[in-house]
Structure 1
């Protein structure tokens, strides 16, 4: 059996769902992961979807941070060979088929450099034949090439981005069965834009309007702070930070389903409340470290998903929700991604 996570399935299900920050790539490059220490304040750990053939790669690319996180069970390497099952493969390939045939990718520049995506993340382990049907369509349009290493597929970067931002939305149910509530996060604004474009395409109708909340400076960037100090601060004030991100999720879910007039008033009210909470978090961080640190921003964008016939993300998020009952933490009626960024200017005050 393929490895699903570093910890056995029973640990998550016995103790309740872990609310984990899900990074779209299977690892981060050395020198680019320090902001993850700030994310630890807001989530119960960091989750990566790591193909089995590169299972150790996250530890090697940033051993200074990734290895201690793994040792303390704060880094969770999820296996697409196990997690991307038949239902997810069908939803993903049907969605790609719909986007391809609706012309979503027709205007992409064909001369750009391609990037690899593992065959397993495309659903190839669960149903290689189904995945091949979509890959053939992409190859015919100059958006994919045949595998060069037997385990990954070269894709146009825009197509790859669509797959990366859709996967955590489709994987919520199998991830919850394994004890994890996936909360997609990204430091790359283009990842967020890819999600918004996916939700806005005519092939995928969503309820209300896509909602985007600008980055709020919620705390300090903890890149230069030792990990043990961060974890100590997390033990003291993690509850306040996790409440903030839950409120952001509710913000997207609630506002996306309102009509325009009600949405504008609700937006103003919620925005003010979130800003007040962010200010409290900043004061906690400044009091704790008493030194100048760059500010850390956290925002969110997404939409409520309408469960209309043929809406595949909606179907993927809604299926079998009754089986999970009150254990659910991931919202089955919205698709979103958190955006985080450390600011260059120093926080003051």
Structure 2
């Protein structure tokens, strides 16, 4: 599934309401038309407290798009979330988590779907609570939940809500700075009892930018204006590359990979040259990409979501069709693991 080229492409960050480090976002904004965050209403006025300089800088230039969870996670999204989670819970794939002594994290009721379909959301909560993976709300706004289950829900929403973006004439492109967490989720759900049979394939691509921690956000945005076309084309080429490979046989992949990777290497080299010229630093920010190949008829929505978007948004035909999925994974030094 590919995005309409005329739609603004927003980096849809997950699995938290906001990023952890501003220098990561400074690199991220070079690749996209803006950054989108899924935020419950009670947290929207707190975003500036998390990262004042970056949030204000992005807002000043119209590059920060806050998606209200109470509006976005409507009835249809809640039904999709409930369908996938119910299969996962019943499969027993999450049961081992109940033995952990891990402290629970809060997930807003809005992101579990209470504003979309309260009855269904309450059913999901009940199943999780029964298995010791969630507890009753303590503040009326959020639900204490096992952190891995919370991350799974937010990862699924990053894919489900792409249709919400399309209905509003923007393309929400899932991105994360937590590739190891997503890999852990995929590994946890790859148990024989889990309802997923998706083949997830990860591409470690190129290092294309520098550590922009000490660079003021206004300077980064000026560089972005001057070089936006190059970064946009690189990002789209990466997506096309992964999408096309996901539809090939193993033999076809082996033949196509070297030639197509060489094209991306050349583009990445040019981006590194420009960034080093601007800031005279070694490159350290890498773009990776996870894709998947699955069969639509298998109903493998979970495999699709963990690898990227795709059949989770619905296909026109129930026939068996090989579909490509994707999600962007950005790495910058070891502290982004």
**Shift of residue 194, structure 1, vs aligned partner:** 4.6
Q: Report the counterpart of residue 52 of structure 2 in structure 1.
A: 63
Q: 1:76 to 1:227 in 2, by over 3 A?
A: same
CA distance in 1, matches of 2:169, 2:213: 29
Q: Report the counterpart of residue 203 of structure 1 in structure 2.
A: 195
Q: Report the counterpart of residue 257 of structure 1 in structure 2.
A: 247
Contact 2:276 2:283 in 1 (8 A): no
Alpha-carbon displacement from aligned partner over 1:217-258 (angstroms, at most 9, x marks no partner) = 112222222222211211111111111111222222221221
Query: In the alignment, does 2:30 pair up with 1:41?
Result: yes
Contact 2:36 2:67 in 1 (8 A): yes
Unpaired segments ≥5 residues, structure 1 = 1-12, 322-331, 345-349
Query: In the alignment, does 2:287 pair up with 1:295?
Result: no
Which SS does the other structure have where 1:143 is aligned? coil
Q: 1:151 to 1:319 in 2, by over 3 A?
A: farther
Q: Report the counterpart of residue 260 of structure 2 in structure 1.
A: 270
Alpha-carbon displacement from aligned partner over 1:44-70 (angstroms, at most 9, x marks no partner) = 111100111111121121111101211
Contact 1:244 1:274 in 2 (8 A): yes
Q: Report the counterpart of residue 17 of structure 2 in structure 1.
A: 26
Contact 1:217 1:297 in 2 (8 A): yes
**Shift of residue 214, structure 1, vs aligned partner:** 1.2
Q: Report the counterpart of residue 231 of structure 2 in structure 1.
A: 241
Contact 1:115 1:156 in 2 (8 A): yes
- In the superposition, the TM-score normalised over structure 2's length comes to 0.86
Unpaired segments ≥5 residues, structure 2 = none
**Shift of residue 137, structure 1, vs aligned partner:** 1.0
Contact 2:31 2:228 in 1 (8 A): yes
Query: In the alignment, does 2:82 pair up with 1:90?
Result: no
What is the 5 A alignment of 1:26-175?
Answer: 26-29=17-20, 32-108=21-97, 109-175=99-165
Q: How many residues are aligned here? A: 316
CA distance in 1, matches of 2:141, 2:225: 40
1:316 to 307, 312, 320: 312
**Shift of residue 17, structure 1, vs aligned partner:** 2.3
Q: CA RMSD in A?
A: 2.4
Q: 1:104 to 1:135 in 2, by over 3 A?
A: same
CA distance in 1, matches of 2:241, 2:6: 24
Q: 1:335 to 1:144 in 2, by over 3 A?
A: farther
Q: Report the counterpart of residue 215 of structure 2 in structure 1.
A: 225
- In the superposition, the TM-score normalised over structure 1's length comes to 0.83
**Shift of residue 84, structure 1, vs aligned partner:** 1.1
